[in-house]
Structure 1
């Protein structure tokens, strides 16, 4: 996250208002900036369980549906053989939906994965060119069960759906787009839906060189997409709006809250098999919360906490650290506290009754049939806002109400929006410089697909060559 205005002139202006070695040292406590890429100490050692980013948007080519994209396992270098990057087994990969505002899941979509081997007497992921998901040369195969869980019980939507394999390379998989598309699986429940699980280009884009003494010590190292060339494991789901909305009515109840979790059972070291109940070990809703809002001493706790208990983290939203750092480094005044505008963005959703941002946008308080509301950290989406004909990367800040923080599209520029919001862009009278802050990385390194699952195909070029 570049804590400076975009453009060379803006960079030099920022330098003129207070950069010093002592100020740069103030950045030391910040542990990670990438959106949930290795954000907490414990989960950083378990990358297969680390959910990295969550996206949710009204499907641009199917506007009666919603698409949710959730990613796991950050920083997948394409040439990661011989094992490459399977989804974790004995693990619940969940997308949680809160449609009544009580901060508890009303619907849980759960993916659980199994792995099979055609030949255990070889080290190879594939033993020859792979032309289909059932090709005998595809040695390592994964499948998943997809369940829809509510208070009424469990409904199995898919029982043995195929996973798109890691992209080994063009010699091994000469038509990888066909393999990826073959992993799109449809089901009929609730009016029908689509599911995908497989590898993709990491859609998040940003410059992470803040750790090189604040972009080289003189603010000249900017504009590099740190995640360029890396892949990620993607789960995507497309469902009718009626399947998500409270009482199945997106007209009366248009707003849903969404977050992802990873949960795993304990393991018996003697048998190598899991036992006991699932335990939540990772969590993600709004991007950048666990990275730059929650302090390092409580990041693991946040990952294990359910949203209905989020009140204990409130002070980190009302008195955030980032504006204080920016004031110390660049001299840009920090907005007055408590930050009720950030409470509205991160914990309640935006509505006229919620706080200083006077717009009815994406709070479950707008749902006519909701009865109890509990502030909590979720990615909130108004199903009634139509997809934008001309999307703006700055979402709501750019006048595009179909974008972040009303849900999150793949092309939304999360760093620029979040940084500007932290500096008071939603408040009247904020300094003009706030509207220019950003990291000079404005688009992904690959174009996104125009149809489900929308994510770009995975990279094969080594990161050090990309």
Structure 2
């Protein structure tokens, strides 16, 4: 699946769904001159986690100079739940501070209510629009068919699933004039420190490419180290799954390693230039690993998406 269950053995990192990054999206907002950043977490919400983890830092990193290191970062932290309620705070960090995994820098949204209802609330703070709460999962794929040797079932895994969405809309000027690289990370406070337990940008990489004993190391790593660390092992996967030559594998991997999603708003936006909620990333990844032999799982995008902020659909009934 896209990035769901990205810990070892198809489990959530640390066995905690609240720490499980499911998807990252970057696309043009409905209002001209603005960009939408979305990171979804907590697959099967809220059954495996009724709130965001209060000891976690959820984070969207932005590389503005092409070195695959954060120059700008938005960190999202959440209060301890109390009486069925939780609040969120958003920090904006720049420069060297953006490369620290902890929440730091300027507070741009303070104590916004986490929204667990069906009618989404909008938090406006300066030039920022923010939402955090329960929404429908936009991920669409025939997972049963994928695990059954690509015998398609027509069943969409995500059609009735929910996630916790974190949605931030910013002025384009926040990101500078040129292309940027974007990735998400979830870190957990434990034993007096902060441990990165999940990270990613491109969909469906760790599920196809990382061995079980590598996933925790990958989740703790930095994109700037990805090419040197994973190129050879991932090229071997492509040789096995798609019969790639060494040169073909290297060319294919240049699109997804380092694991940073390129976003150039001056070019047509759609995966792999950013990612919209309707982009068929499952078929794109199947085509990649099969060397074009499998190019479609025949599952369409979801139809419950909103055309305005926060863009994610109304949550499905639970239970």
Regarding TM over 0.5, the answer is: yes
Alignment partners' CA distance in 2, 1:317 and 1:84? 33
Alignment partners' CA distance in 2, 1:152 and 1:438? 42
Alignment partners' CA distance in 2, 1:409 and 1:194? 18
Q: Which residue of 1 aligns with 2:185?
A: 261
Alignment partners' CA distance in 2, 1:414 and 1:152? 33
Q: What is the deviation of 1:44?
A: 6.1
SS of residue paired to 2:52: coil
SS of residue paired to 1:101: coil
Q: Which residue of 2 aligns with 1:345?
A: 255
Q: Which residue of 2 aligns with 1:64?
A: 33
Q: Which residue of 2 aligns with 1:244?
A: 175
Structure-to-structure mapping, 1:20-99, within 5 angstroms: 34-41=1-8, 43=13, 45-59=15-29, 61-76=30-45, 80=47, 85-99=50-64
Alignment partners' CA distance in 1, 2:181 and 2:37? 12
1:201 lines up with 2:83 in the alignment: no
Alignment partners' CA distance in 2, 1:90 and 1:40? 18
1:298 lines up with 2:207 in the alignment: no
SS of residue paired to 1:438: coil
**What do the CA deviations read for 1:229-287 (whole angstroms, capped 9, x no partner)?**
11000001111111012xxxx1xxx21111111111115xxxxxxxx232111111111
Runs of 5+ unmatched residues, structure 1: 1-33, 118-138, 168-175, 268-275, 327-333, 348-375, 386-400, 426-433
Structure-to-structure mapping, 1:65-464, within 5 angstroms: 65-76=34-45, 80=47, 85-117=50-82, 139-151=83-95, 154-165=105-116, 167=117, 176-177=118-119, 180=120, 182=121, 184-188=122-126, 192-210=127-145, 213-214=148-149, 219=151, 221-245=152-176, 250=177, 254-267=178-191, 276-310=192-226, 311-321=228-238, 324-325=240-241, 334-338=243-247, 339-347=249-257, 376-385=258-267, 401-424=268-291, 434=293, 437-444=295-302, 446-460=303-317, 462=319
SS of residue paired to 1:292: helix
SS of residue paired to 1:229: coil
Alignment partners' CA distance in 2, 1:285 and 1:380? 9
Q: How many residues align?
A: 307
Alignment partners' CA distance in 1, 2:304 and 2:4? 21
The RMSD of aligned alpha carbons is 2.1
Specify whether residues 455 and 38 from structure 1 end up closer, same or farther in structure 2 by C-alpha distance, changes over 3 A only.
Answer: same
Q: What is the deviation of 1:456?
A: 0.4
Q: What is the deviation of 1:335?
A: 3.2
**What do the CA deviations read for 1:285-341 (whole angstroms, capped 9, x no partner)?**
1111111122222111100101122121111343334x6235xxxxxxx23223132
SS of residue paired to 2:278: coil
Specify whether residues 84 and 344 from structure 1 end up closer, same or farther in structure 2 by C-alpha distance, changes over 3 A only.
Answer: closer
Alignment partners' CA distance in 2, 1:300 and 1:461? 30
Q: Which residue of 1 aligns with 2:100?
A: none
Specify whether residues 296 and 418 from structure 1 end up closer, same or farther in structure 2 by C-alpha distance, changes over 3 A only.
Answer: same
TM norm structure 1: 0.62
